[in-house]
Structure 1
Amino acid sequence: MAVIDFRIDKRFSYANGYEFGKVGAYEQIDGTLTFGVIPSLDANKSIVDLDLAPTDRDGKVIFTSDFSIIKPVDPNRGSQGLIVELPNRGRRRVVDTMNRSGAEASGSPDPGDGFLFERGLTVASIGWQWDVYQNDVLMGLNPPSADLSGESNPGQTVVEIRPNEMATTWLLADRVHKPLKAKNISDPNAILYIKDFEDGEETAIPRENWKFAKETPDGVIPSDEHIYLNGGFEPGKCYQIVYETTDAPIGGSGLIALRDVTSFLRYESEELLPDLGNFNHAIGYGVSQTGRMLRHFLYLGLNVDESGRKVFDGLLPHVAGGRVGAFNHRFAQPSNQSYPSFGHQFPFHDEELKDPFTEKSDGLLKKLADGHTRPKVMYTNSSAEYWRGDGSLVHTDPSGLNDIEHATEFVRVYHFAGTQHGAGTLPQSNEPGAEGAFPLFAPNVI
């Protein structure tokens, strides 16, 4: 069993004991899951650097994750259906989205119109992202780390910087996540590049013009978590800092957490969570970043657990476009959306196709060729994924010139035409959206 422990931190009546139709009341259980996985098993070999992690006396790599589940108080009144969501950058979204609450992310999602719960569904959320700062709202993962001491050249990492306003100091992280610390703040081989736009020509900024440091009220002080640039980072420019780091968290352990928590809930929960009930089907849900992670999950063939059992019956990757993500390589930063980057790599389509540039043949579902292990997949995208350039690759060949059919018994593709990447809300507001996004009135209240 890959889930070896479950510590319950909180257990309480959900939505103040509200009765959801014939299903009745729900309860929420929050806690911490402990995983123990064997790197040498075929089911785990696709996870980068897992074989470099320390193991216990049983040969297992140990790591923990935040976990939350909202379930019927009486499981016999439920539908035996399970939804497992990947929180987007730590934020639980599936209940707010499906139940149309319009509420901000929280530690106990607003029940909204009760859509999921009136249908007897159980909803589980699993922390999977190693660089999220965990709190009552944000769920994260405490990953294993790779021991790179035996490698003569463990490699470098890259952090992209795209300021919207002038700043002298930047965290060595994607967004405001946990940083990848600099191994040597005086490293002469670290390089800071600048370019005018994504595909622009890179220019190295002289080393004497920047340092691993941060500006404080008391002046500029050394810091292995920050970079300081004389004159500041200019809004609209693209910067990349390339350096050696002390950290090697195994980002792919988040993919294992998704697989193994679902397998645990379906097949092995009786000992650690005896009153959960049984499930006859499980559906995985991810939106944007986590929709891309579900596509990556498929590509690695992870819909089979360590015992060879099918994990998900269905997946719903929403607004993921044709990409995967920065989820399974050394020094992975799971929120990263740099272009080009790991998320933009072939393949894009489920079926096996040939890449016209490399002549390589591959497909997202190639490793799940056995019909028994393939889940049914429903891809839903907005017009934004087409506008940015990768949405059509879900249903065309890499040239973009030919439509490619899917295995109709497994896959459906839907396009919410004329809509944006993030849904609008009612009543409409004249406040800008995420990261200052406009137009003022988001036209896609769907």
Structure 2
Amino acid sequence: MVATRFEIISRKPIGDDSAYKDIGEYEFITGRLYYSVDPKHPDSQLITDIDLIPTNNEGRVEFSSDIQLLKPVSMKSDSNLFFDVVNRGNRTVLAFNNAEQRVSNEDPHLGNGFLMKKGTVVVFCGWQTDVPDGRIRLHVPEALDKNGEQLIGQTYQQFDLGEDSYELLLSDRQHNPLPTANLNDENATLIERDWPDGPITNIPRNEWSFARWADGEEVRDANFICLPKGFKSGKVYEIIYNTVGAPVIGLGFLAMRDCSSFFRYATEEQGNPCAGNITKAYAFGASQSGRFVREFAYLGLNLDEDNRIVYDGLLPHTGSSRLGEFNMRFGQPSSNHMRNVGNVKALAYVETHDPISNIKDSLLWRLESKNAMPKIIATNSDVEYWWSGASLAHTDATGSFDVNPPENVRVYLFSGTKHGAGSLPLTKTPAPEALRQKHFSNTIDYRPLQRAAYDNLDKWVRDGIEPPVSQYPRIDDKTAVTRESLMESFERVPKIGFLKALPVRQRLSYGDNVDEGIHTYPAVEGEPFGTLVSAIDDDCNEISGVRLPDLQVPLGTHTGWALRHADIGGEGHFMPLQGSVIPFPRTETEKEQDGDPRDSIEKRYPSKDDYLTKIRASAESLASEKYILSEDIEGIVNGAGERWEAIQSQ
């Protein structure tokens, strides 16, 4: 057993079990799980720099994870384990419960108890080393050179600003920074662009420094860069410099493997509070964590060191066709821009050949070679198609023909949605950062689709009941089109408009040592991949994918892209992760005044009751096809009623 010890720090009852009386009371356990892995095991050899870690007396590598665990006090003997690949140290899977988001050092909110009603054991495990204090973290050793010294080498950062500043922390999302190895590094370069793929303006080295800005002066600091003339909102900045210190971040993949293996297979004597009661295990990751799940599959790590299956099913959400900076020297796992190392390969679920780079590859080839394939339900929002090339998971690299997923994989586009589940109120400032978009933020709540996906995955694994067919844009039926081809349709609606520049997913080369996890910057940029999105109808709503009632019975146009507002600079450019809703004219008079070619709401629906009747019929149809659960129909109808009122009163 690779996980050698589970140290319980706290244990207490949690939640109100009135919604899941058949299961009984839940408890919340926090602790730390300790690992000891064989660095010479073939799977361990996939981890960058594992041979540069000092080992214990038995020649093994030691590390540990923060753990949080939700489980029934009295477990049933045939329980599911649901592993949450926490996002930047934050819990995510409780969104399935419609739970309120709480910081990780507070007790979780259990929401409507959806997962608890099934007696699910939910595990939150640290896999990322650089998250801020108070979050769920991975604790790993550093790689050292032959003299026992810290490693020094190139790294790269990109900053897409939503507000002015004189200083920037050398990290993504205010995580622990990658410090400069030399405050006076003359080879460090800083550039500015007007948008992520715009022309480069070099900022002379004597105009900026590794420093903080304090009381109008530069104070030297290895963790910051300072520009006395100011970093400007709406601009994009990129820096290449030498950093020092290389935690072996790829050990996070072994934590994902060995944590679930421990709770699934370890005995009570070995300290497992779930001993003997876990028969199936699933993993979920969203966004960054969805890419992590994809890379876990790519590395083929679904067998533990004792050759036992770890996960029966995977649910990568909004992972696009990408990987991440998860297994490299000097990587930043939170990084999410299009020059991220994880964008080098466009990986479909079966082998494809890229005629331009002459690369043949598949996301699942290692799992297939080991006979360790889980069932997979992969879901994406519309953002992943417009921004990062999610279509490349089911087309060739040039976007010329469809590549059908294998029988054990389902792929769903959540049509017309933004990166995260939408909600009211209607707002143009949906993000916690100082960001503002031109249109209202997309309001489609796709969580009912996620609950059904989990339920379908469990029935697929346990009972062999196949989920509904994949739903995504296809080339063969002309529902997959280029983004450029839709510009005219969007621009014919004066209220909508179109992006000034489209995001580019391009082929990137980082030198000859990439397979060793070592990258050379700047990347050599090649041709863009052939990315496609869904075709749209006359209302500019998408016609492919799983279309929730918001699209089948619409009150507006819903997009997976948003335009930056003039107030934050970069007006009209793409705002990552966000989407928009542009309501229809409420009346024929308003339609005429706005010059809007879309039908008005009053023409479409004689009354609110008529609208809600159609919403209910749409939801019932989706439930009959198993894309949503019947228990979610009322919530969908109620939510539609709230959106009706919000749009009518805007």
Instruction: Give the alignment's TM-score, normalised by structure 1.
Output: 0.93
Pair 1:148-2:141 in alignment = no
- CA drift of 1:332 comes to 0.8
Structure 2 CA distance for partners of 1:332 and 1:87, relative to 1, 3 Å: same
Where does 1:392-403 land on structure 2 (aligned, <5 Å)?
392-403=391-402
Query: Which segments of 5 or more consecutive residues in structure 1 lack a partner in the other structure?
Result: none
- 2:208 aligns with one of 207, 210, 214: 210
Per-residue CA deviation, residues 187-214 of structure 1 (Å, 9 max, x unaligned), is 2222222233322343432221111110
- 2:183 aligns with one of 182, 185, 202: 185
The equivalent of 1:303 in structure 2 is 302
Between the aligned partners of 1:152 and 1:133, the Cα distance in structure 2 is 22
The equivalent of 1:52 in structure 2 is 52
Between the aligned partners of 1:261 and 1:65, the Cα distance in structure 2 is 8
Q: Which moved more, 1:42-51 or 1:336-345?
A: 336-345
The equivalent of 2:169 in structure 1 is 171
Residues 346, 392 of structure 2: 8 Å contact kept: no
Count of matched residue positions in the alignment of Structure 1 and Structure 2 = 440
**Equivalent residue letter for 1:397:** D
The equivalent of 2:357 in structure 1 is 358
Query: Which segments of 5 or more consecutive residues in structure 2 lack a partner in the other structure?
Result: 447-650
Per-residue CA deviation, residues 276-329 of structure 1 (Å, 9 max, x unaligned), is 132111000001110010001111111121222211110001111111111111
Residues 152, 244 of structure 2: 8 Å contact kept: no
Q: Which moved more, 1:139-148 or 1:254-263?
A: 139-148
Between the aligned partners of 1:357 and 1:40, the Cα distance in structure 2 is 35
Between the aligned partners of 2:151 and 2:289, the Cα distance in structure 1 is 31
Residues 35, 62 of structure 2: 8 Å contact kept: yes
Between the aligned partners of 1:377 and 1:371, the Cα distance in structure 2 is 16
The equivalent of 1:428 in structure 2 is 425
Structure 2 CA distance for partners of 1:90 and 1:216, relative to 1, 3 Å: same
Where does 1:11-410 land on structure 2 (aligned, <5 Å)?
11-15=11-15, 20-76=20-76, 79-95=78-94, 97-106=95-104, 107-135=106-134, 138-148=135-145, 154-217=152-215, 219-277=217-275, 278-370=277-369, 372-408=371-407, 410=408
Between the aligned partners of 1:362 and 1:2, the Cα distance in structure 2 is 30
Where does 1:430-445 land on structure 2 (aligned, <5 Å)?
430=427, 432-434=429-431, 435=433, 436=435, 438=437, 439-445=439-445
Q: Which moved more, 1:149-158 or 1:39-48?
A: 149-158
- CA drift of 1:22 comes to 0.9
- CA drift of 1:16 comes to 5.5
Pair 1:416-2:409 in alignment = no
Residues 172, 181 of structure 1: 8 Å contact kept: yes
- CA drift of 1:369 comes to 1.3
**Equivalent residue letter for 1:30:** T
Residues 257, 301 of structure 2: 8 Å contact kept: yes
Structure 2 CA distance for partners of 1:389 and 1:67, relative to 1, 3 Å: closer
Instruction: Give the alignment's TM-score, normalised by structure 2.
Output: 0.65
Between the aligned partners of 1:389 and 1:401, the Cα distance in structure 2 is 17
Between the aligned partners of 1:289 and 1:335, the Cα distance in structure 2 is 7
Which protein shows a greater Rg? 2
Structure 2 CA distance for partners of 1:2 and 1:165, relative to 1, 3 Å: same
- CA drift of 1:99 comes to 0.9
**Equivalent residue letter for 2:86:** P
Q: Which moved more, 1:292-301 or 1:386-395?
A: 386-395
Residues 79, 120 of structure 1: 8 Å contact kept: no
Structure 2 CA distance for partners of 1:209 and 1:7, relative to 1, 3 Å: same
Q: Percent identity?
A: 38
Structure 2 CA distance for partners of 1:389 and 1:177, relative to 1, 3 Å: closer
Residues 144, 253 of structure 1: 8 Å contact kept: no
Structure 2 CA distance for partners of 1:397 and 1:215, relative to 1, 3 Å: same
Q: Which moved more, 1:198-207 or 1:2-11?
A: 198-207
Between the aligned partners of 1:239 and 1:103, the Cα distance in structure 2 is 31
- CA drift of 1:119 comes to 0.8
Per-residue CA deviation, residues 209-244 of structure 1 (Å, 9 max, x unaligned), is 111110123732110111111301122222222111
- CA drift of 1:247 comes to 1.5
Between the aligned partners of 1:39 and 1:156, the Cα distance in structure 2 is 25
SS in 1 for 2:22: helix
SS in 2 for 1:115: coil
**Equivalent residue letter for 1:93:** T
- CA drift of 1:111 comes to 1.3
Structure 2 CA distance for partners of 1:148 and 1:191, relative to 1, 3 Å: farther
Per-residue CA deviation, residues 75-126 of structure 1 (Å, 9 max, x unaligned), is 13x641110011111110111x111124444432211111111111110010
Between the aligned partners of 1:171 and 1:152, the Cα distance in structure 2 is 21
**Equivalent residue letter for 2:63:** F
Residues 5, 35 of structure 1: 8 Å contact kept: yes
Between the aligned partners of 2:178 and 2:91, the Cα distance in structure 1 is 25
Residues 19, 26 of structure 1: 8 Å contact kept: no
**Aligned CA-pair RMSD:** 2.1
Q: Which moved more, 1:269-278 or 1:86-95?
A: 269-278
**Equivalent residue letter for 1:232:** G
- Which structure dedicates a bigger proportion of its chain to helix? 2
Between the aligned partners of 1:16 and 1:252, the Cα distance in structure 2 is 38
Structure 2 CA distance for partners of 1:340 and 1:67, relative to 1, 3 Å: same
Residues 81, 121 of structure 1: 8 Å contact kept: yes
- CA drift of 1:143 comes to 1.9
Structure 2 CA distance for partners of 1:154 and 1:226, relative to 1, 3 Å: closer
Between the aligned partners of 1:308 and 1:347, the Cα distance in structure 2 is 29
Residues 384, 390 of structure 2: 8 Å contact kept: yes
Structure 2 CA distance for partners of 1:371 and 1:146, relative to 1, 3 Å: closer
Between the aligned partners of 1:431 and 1:26, the Cα distance in structure 2 is 39
Between the aligned partners of 1:25 and 1:172, the Cα distance in structure 2 is 45
The equivalent of 2:566 in structure 1 is none
Between the aligned partners of 2:119 and 2:17, the Cα distance in structure 1 is 15
SS in 1 for 2:115: helix
